[in-house]
Amino acid sequence: MNTAEELKENLKYRYSDIAFQSEEFIEEECGCGSGCGCHSGTSDVEYYDEPGYHPYADLGLGIGMPTRYAEIKEGQTVVDLGAGAGMDSFLAREITGPSGKIIGIDLTERMVEKARKNAEIAGYNNVEFRLGDIENLPVSDKTAHVVLGNGIMNMVPDKKQAFREIYRILKHHGNLSLSEIMVKGDMPKGLKIDAEMYVGCMAGSMSLNEYIQFLNDCGFEEITVQEEKKLELPDAMLHYYLPPEEAREFREGEPGIYSVTLTAEKPCCHAGEEDHVCGHDH
């Protein structure tokens, strides 16, 4: 079993290569942009209709559109986790305007370099990118009005620590908006394993209920599923594990792998609450 540090090193290696791949190569090699051989139909986020879209920052890595539901306002500070080449950071900047501040965080040095170059091309002097680990964010307490994440939490070894860090850097009444691949319902074990390989790079995926429980445990409130889309699995895969009637029921039923966007709010701190829930001073 890989250790947390080995997993992070593998991620750095993979995304260092992605950082300088051409868009054509990414689309040819892997629809999710990860180069891991996953199915080309699993990433269909259409950023190009969004204000602030910059094609050179779009590496095809998006799971959803967290900026749509984050309630970002002009002049706010937004932290973008796993910022990549800067796509969601730039969409957020379009909403905050020049009076806001965007901080993108990424684990990969080469990706941070690419994002900084893209910000320069776009002429954004209020968007910065920092090298950092989501489990130990290089951001001060109560900095962000909004935290965004797009297909990043599945790759974090210690998810509970990551959610604690998000809680720490959010202001009171700050918003979290996450787009992730999640599992819903009970899936046959073999089918789940093959489905994860098909979708690609999601060995750390959790169920929707587990995500909600993590958020609850850390003190988040107003947890809301804003959007979900069931990912279609190939008939050949379903019929390998399930009889025809069960395969049909599975395709038409709830269990499966979904792209989900959910939001949550950090509440106003009550006396003693943060110290009890997340280990922070009041």
Closest CA to 87 of 163, 18, 155, 168: 18
Three-class DSSP labels, 126-193: CEEEEECECCECCCCCCCEEEEEEECCHHHCCCHHHHHHHHHHHEEEEEEEEEEEEEEECCCCHHHHH
User: How much is the pTM?
Assistant: 0.78
Fold assignment, 4-277: Rossmann fold (3.40.50)
pLDDT in tens, the chain (282 residues): 457 665 545 544 454 444 455 444 444 444 343 333 333 333 456 666 677 778 877 777 678 899 999 999 999 999 999 998 899 999 999 999 999 999 999 988 888 999 999 999 999 999 999 999 999 999 999 999 999 999 888 888 888 999 999 999 999 999 999 998 888 887 777 777 777 666 654 555 778 888 899 999 999 999 999 999 888 888 888 888 888 888 888 888 888 888 899 999 999 865 444 444 444 433
One-letter identity of residue 170: L
Per the CB < 8 A criterion, the answer to whether 97 and 74 are in contact is yes
What ranges do the domains of the chain cover?
Answer: 4-277
